[in-house]
Amino acid sequence: MALLDGKVIVVTGAKGNLGAAMISTALSEGATVIGLDYAQIDFQADKFEGFSGVDLTDVEATTAAFAQIHTKYGRVDGLANIAGGFCWQTLADGEPNSWDKMFRINVVTASNACRAALPALIKAAGKIVNIGAAGATKAGAGFGPYAASKAGVAKLTESLAEECKTQNVCVNAVLPSVIDTPLNRSDMPDADFSSWVSPQQLSDVLCFLLSSKADSITGALLPVTGRV
């Protein structure tokens, strides 16, 4: 039996490289997948539906999207919170509003999606997996706004896991290093790409954490760092 056979999985950030990889992997593992993104989703496949134009930084818009999903599909078994963003800037030369922007893109999107999905996930004894960052545990120069926001994702994960322990909802996060995407290759052309984590490798871990094989794992912050 496939890891996610018969499960309904919601993937935020569906338009991005990791989101698209996650959708493909979850479909191959037997799931019905709903993708959410503010951008236009052009991914098409059987057992997949894309919800474009969803502003996950807005509580009402997020709640409405999940209500529509539950009305149509009747359940939500898993949530992969992939929506997010990155910026590199030093404190001295950077834009002050970048701190708020990173918080909203990385923490607020995850918290809004978790809140909206939670009633359905409690009924299904479901699972949440958030995307943190290895760099949040030891931030380098220029990583301040991004690392601070991803540290927030880690603490959201730990806190919600404790909150949901008696409700049979598992909440975990993965902490990737550099993900092998075209943009990262363009930004770091001299790096050893083979040492990075591919979207497919990270998606495999996400699918495992969303499956029944991870029923005993909650509150974990799992490094997925390749050989970086």
| Residues 114 and 160: beta-carbon distance below 8 Å | yes
- Confidence at residue 228, expressed as pLDDT on a 0 to 100 scale: 86
Chain segment 179-204, per-residue pLDDT in tens: 999 999 999 999 999 999 999 999 99
Domains and CATH numbers, the chain: 8-224 (3.40.50.720)
Q: What is the CA radius of gyration of the chain?
A: 17
Residues 6+ apart with CB under 8 A from 103: 145, 148, 149, 152
Chain segment 58-108, per-residue pLDDT in tens: 999 999 999 999 999 999 999 999 999 999 999 999 899 999 999 999 999
**Amino acid sitting at position 154:** A
User: Which runs of E-coded beta strand occur in the chain?
Assistant: 8-12, 32-36, 48-51, 78-81, 127-131, 170-176, 221-224
Strand order in the sheet with 8-12: 48-51, 32-36, 8-12, 78-81, 127-131, 170-176, 221-224
Could you say which DSSP state residue 94 is in?
Answer: S
Chain segment 123-178, per-residue pLDDT in tens: 999 999 999 999 999 888 999 999 999 999 999 999 999 999 999 999 999 999 99
**The pTM is what?**
0.96
Q: What are phi and psi of 44, to 5 degrees?
A: -135, 135
- CA 103 to CA 145: how far, in whole Å? 8
**Amino acid sitting at position 81:** N
| Residues 18 and 203: beta-carbon distance below 8 Å | yes
